[in-house]
Structure 1
């Protein structure tokens, strides 16, 4: 229900003005099963240097804030072309969609009051942590009417990387140095009641033990509006006391919903649903080699699908266990498409934060 802005400033991706061609970009924006709400795209061959420079300028304007809200895509597009200056490639780069559209942005009304951990100010692997906070109204007072789910994502230190120039092309030299933030090492959730929340979790064993600055991203919504905040957080090291945990996660696997029975019938586009529980929490970081949440269809190991980004903690999608805390339970949902008629077998694997696994 929430479609993205797709940027493809590359040669002839969207030949929207050629009636004889149903180009890739046109297929993306006309897709009935997803696609894009907006596209920044090109209709003819453009120079690599122009594409790199224009994308950089457009992205900077795209995230400009006016009254804590993004400017419209049309304004960002116009500002980028003016800033870039007169250029023959301008006519080949187009914005498809409603130019008055803005990227969605929650209000910064969520406050993190305390991050409670064994070492104040630092999160280590295997630490038990509580994040406490509240949601404000626009006037700065507590919003006692806010009741909804709070999601806490903790990101490890940024990694220094560089492009590889795999093809050995002189035009792609020198390599570019950049930093990258991987997926969250913690994805936990809880409930805000009358505007106040506490989210609990264990930090997984699979983190970068070097001490440095990561960040906490907190997000909450009550199905009326959403709020967020983020802040720097020192991360590194491991709790020397560890945890006493040799029990693997418990898993129940279904297709589409929890009424499915093993050997049941689905259509050709079913959704995998896995309800998972563990007393210390699930590892969905993707940081440790071989510790991903995965699914394999019909034994084709080469086509293993990594499902870390499809895991959500707490009750949801029919997976309910009221006796457990939110960090001790969660669900994985993943859509399969165009399965061949006939019997199929799924192999699902998941790890807990101490790297015990269940298949």
Structure 2
């Protein structure tokens, strides 16, 4: 067997903790977040190329606890020096999902740089240079109407809001007021984060029939496939699984029309890409979102989105960088609802 060039060997591993405050509280039916903490994974090879990954555990979204993530990172990384990225990727065990996703991203970043390819083209040769994105507006609160109008004015056509925070009737009335001020073609992407029982979810879905709803994520507190299938049959728009995909084993047959793919909850970019292929074969569409990671994690998700959706049919949830008061690097910054991806080999982001 031919040996790999010595200059592709990993020579150093660094694990850098970070704590990033948010500009304002991120609220959902699963609680409130005021900051994001995690570890930046940095791998350096013999040519001084650097591969980056972000481990920002968020148990509410389906990842492991931070303590377990830190332990797994230290344990898994011990075997990396002296290996090439392909060797390390082939031997990378399952592990806790956020930790595994960070290590995999750093290894793929190095591998793509060695190949001279943007990371998305390492995942899929036909991946485009830009993807559609939704506006991340946060909770359906008193300021949501103004935020929706501002986002629509900046060219976003898919506006995402967190629902399930107030009684169904109140939220439907608030959504109607928001919809009345939107330009033609603008739609609402809603995320209940498992807020409701089946009767409440059914009432909400029925009340959305007159509204420009693009999709509704995780309507049920207990996402039973039969109940989800009943709700999907009554909805004129896609219902989506998100948190309940943690572990990467969705129910078969799929009870909804959409899957939301988060690398940190699925164990990495390649497991997410494999799940997207399974979903497409079953006639189910996919979107990629962050788990409110740093810029490093957001760029990894953006590279994945291009590989998952080469035709750029869907709006992906990647525009979360504006929520951070400060970040590790420049975050994805869309213009008019589109995000342009770096042309540089690898992930395309560097840490100052």
Provide TM-score, normalisation by structure 2.
0.22
Looking at secondary structure, tell me which structure has more strand per residue. Answer: 1
Q: Whose RCO is larger (CA < 8 A, sep 6+)? A: 2
